[in-house]
């Protein structure tokens, strides 16, 4: 039976998680901001329609969000991680071979499923994930990871599922997808490919791999082989070993007392500890630190650690 991989992608997944817990957000423009509420990192279709761009600084759109009724959320990675675990548990009911690629993307091995049943199974999977977790998804199916792409999301007529293992659909879509949509091709690679006359994914597939290897290293050559249906990227079923992890937050208000700082830090420390203990290869050490902006002054605010502020105070007392 031919190889078939499905890439399942949560739609605007952080916003979708917020909608799960507040159904009044359905149909309302929603954005989720990056750490410390710096910029918009996830937008619903309604927010995109208002012209909010990916990575747009929040201070620039704050007034517009207020006037247009855009609901704005700080990111809540604990919630998103939990929802991701729930959706992956549903995926495992459909296939035992699941690679968790990112917080909202997973690959499923559907090679054992009959070719004429894959789309039906993908629709069933989408419906089940939506019913059990509330998260909307799209499913792209292809013979390799590079081909299991996101056409399903960008073409509404496909109703969230695109099967590129079907040769007719494969030829139809490849000449309609811009090469910039291919995973692994960034801005620098795009400029090099444009110089080689490559516009669509079909152009790239027919290119001689040797000049591409010169321009884009082995990564570019591998993409061409993948587009031709030759699998170069295996399914990684074991989670990658972590070298470290960090649980970081800013204080919501001034925390000048050492005791107060420690009390606010301890839940983060516990979470980091739980995360590292759950890892395959637990790191042997843990460090806790706090920093404050360099512009702040005074013994209690310029400390890199609680002790430093004490040292400075002591030094100041001695010099008097
Ligand atoms: Mg997504």
Half-sphere exposure of 232 (CA within 13 A, CB side): 14
Compute the distance from residue 104 Cα to the ligand 1 centre, in Å. Answer: 5
Whether 144 and 164 have beta carbons less than 8 Å apart is answered as: no
What does pTM read for this prediction? 0.74
Compute the distance from residue 42 Cα to the ligand 1 centre, in Å. Answer: 9
Return the closest-CA partner of residue 115 out of 200, 251, 245, 1: 1
In sequence order, the 6+-apart residues with CB closer than 8 A to the CB of 190 are 179, 180
According to DSSP, the β-strands at 5-10 and 71-74 are: unpaired
Compute the distance from residue 9 Cα to the ligand 1 centre, in Å. Answer: 5
Residue 206 has pLDDT above 90, yes or no: no
Between 311 and 4, where is the model more confident? Answer: 4
Compute the distance from residue 185 Cα to the ligand 1 centre, in Å. Answer: 18
Check residue 277 and give its pLDDT.
66
Name, of 61-75, 160-174, 192-206, 300-314, the range with top average pLDDT: 61-75
Compute the distance from residue 196 Cα to the ligand 1 centre, in Å. Answer: 30
pLDDT tens digit sequence for 116-160: 999 999 999 999 999 999 999 999 998 888 877 767 777 777 888
Residue 251 has pLDDT above 80, yes or no: no
Burial letters 173-194, b for 16+ CB under 10 A, else e: bbeebebeebeebeeebbebbe
pLDDT tens digit sequence for 261-293: 777 777 778 777 777 766 545 555 777 777 766
- Specify the DSSP class assigned to residue 57: B
Angle between helices 258-278 and 306-319 (to 10 degrees): 150
Whether 264 and 255 have beta carbons less than 8 Å apart is answered as: yes
Compute the distance from residue 175 Cα to the ligand 1 centre, in Å. Answer: 24
pLDDT tens digit sequence for 55-91: 999 999 999 999 999 999 999 999 999 999 999 999 9
Compute the distance from residue 135 Cα to the ligand 1 centre, in Å. Answer: 11
- Three-state DSSP at 26 gives coil
Name, of 10-14, 199-203, 276-280, the range with top average pLDDT: 10-14
Compute the distance from residue 287 Cα to the ligand 1 centre, in Å. Answer: 33
Average pLDDT for the chain? 82
What whole-number distance in Å separates Cα of residue 16 and Cα of residue 27? 11
Residue 301 has pLDDT above 50, yes or no: no
Whether 74 and 33 have beta carbons less than 8 Å apart is answered as: yes
Check residue 284 and give its pLDDT.
58
Compute the distance from residue 137 Cα to the ligand 1 centre, in Å. Answer: 8
**Residue bearing tokens 């400390």:** 303
**Residue bearing tokens 């149909």:** 27
Beta strands in the chain (DSSP E): 5-10, 30-33, 40-43, 71-74, 98-100, 105-109, 137-142, 161-163
Residue 309 has pLDDT above 70, yes or no: no
Q: Give the residue-averaged pLDDT of 188-200.
A: 85
pLDDT tens digit sequence for 34-50: 988 999 999 999 999 99
């Amino acid at each position: 039976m031919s190889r078939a991989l499905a890439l399942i992608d949560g739609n605007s997944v952080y916003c979708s998680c917020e909608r799960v817990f507040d159904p009044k957000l359905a149909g309302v423009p929603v954005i989720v901001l990056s750490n410390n509420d710096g910029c918009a990192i996830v937008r619903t279709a309604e927010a995109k329609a208002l012209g909010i761009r990916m990575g747009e600084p929040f201070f620039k759109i704050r007034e517009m969000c207020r006037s247009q009724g855009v609901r704005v959320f700080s990111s809540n990675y604990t919630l998103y991680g939990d929802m991701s675990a729930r959706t992956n548990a549903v995926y495992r009911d459909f296939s035992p071979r699941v690679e968790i690629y990112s917080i909202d993307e997973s690959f499923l091995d559907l090679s054992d499923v009959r070719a004429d049943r894959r789309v039906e199974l993908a629709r069933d999977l989408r419906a089940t994930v939506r019913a059990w977790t509330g998260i909307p998804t799209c499913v792209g199916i292809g013979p390799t990871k590079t081909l299991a792409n996101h056409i399903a999301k960008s073409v509404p007529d496909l109703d969230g599922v695109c099967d590129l293992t079907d040769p007719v659909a494969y030829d139809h879509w490849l000449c309609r997808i811009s090469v910039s949509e291919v995973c692994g091709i960034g801005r620098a690679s795009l400029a090099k490919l444009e110089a080689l006359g490559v516009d669509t994914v079909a152009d790239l597939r027919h290119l001689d791999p040797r000049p591409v290897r010169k321009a884009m290293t082995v990564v570019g050559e591998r993409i061409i082989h993948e587009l031709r249906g030759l699998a170069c990227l295996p399914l990684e079923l074991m989670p990658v070993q972590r070298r470290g992890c960090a649980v970081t937050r800013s204080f919501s208000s001034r925390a000048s007392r050492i005791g107060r700082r420690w009390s606010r830090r301890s839940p983060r420390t516990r979470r980091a500890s739980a995360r590292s203990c759950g890892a395959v290869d637990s790191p042997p050490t843990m460090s806790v630190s706090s920093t404050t902006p360099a512009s702040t002054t005074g013994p209690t605010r310029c400390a890199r650690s609680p002790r430093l502020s004490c040292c400075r105070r002591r030094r100041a007392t001695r010099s008097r």
